[in-house]
Amino acid sequence: MLLVLDRAHFDHMTGADRALQREVLGLFRLQVEGWIGAFTSGEGWREAVHTMKGSARGIGFAALAAACEAAERVNEAEREAALARVGQALTAALSELEQFAAEAA
């Protein structure tokens, strides 16, 4: 089972700098709106999934990155189901993000 947030990875990528981590997570949260817009409209959804995958990997959202990677490979008929799985992983990631933010405050 993949971690929602691999905190050791996130600490490594940010030098365990809590201020930097809050900034990175805030930027991720802002990007989510654009990605969701692409998923909803159906235009550019594959590019949005690819971008989300890279951001998720950089932060340490392993399960979200895996869901995105799987979604990149689906055909158009499987898009809705794949994006639903991405949405579930994203919800878990955002929940973990909120928990992390509360702990870091």
Q: What is the pLDDT of residues 19-76, one digit of tens each?
A: 999 999 999 999 998 899 888 888 899 999 999 999 999 999 999 999 999 999 999 9
Query: Mean per-residue pLDDT for 77-95?
Result: 95
pLDDT of residue 102: 84
Domain count along the chain: 1
Instruction: Tell me, yes or no, whether 89 lies in a domain.
Output: yes
Q: Identify the CATH number of the domain in which residue 25 sits.
A: 1.20.120.160
- Nearest residue to 59 (alpha-carbon basis) of 36, 81, 89: 89
**Tokens in use for 34?**
């654009």
75 lies in which domain range? 7-104
Flag whether pLDDT at 17 surpasses 90.
yes
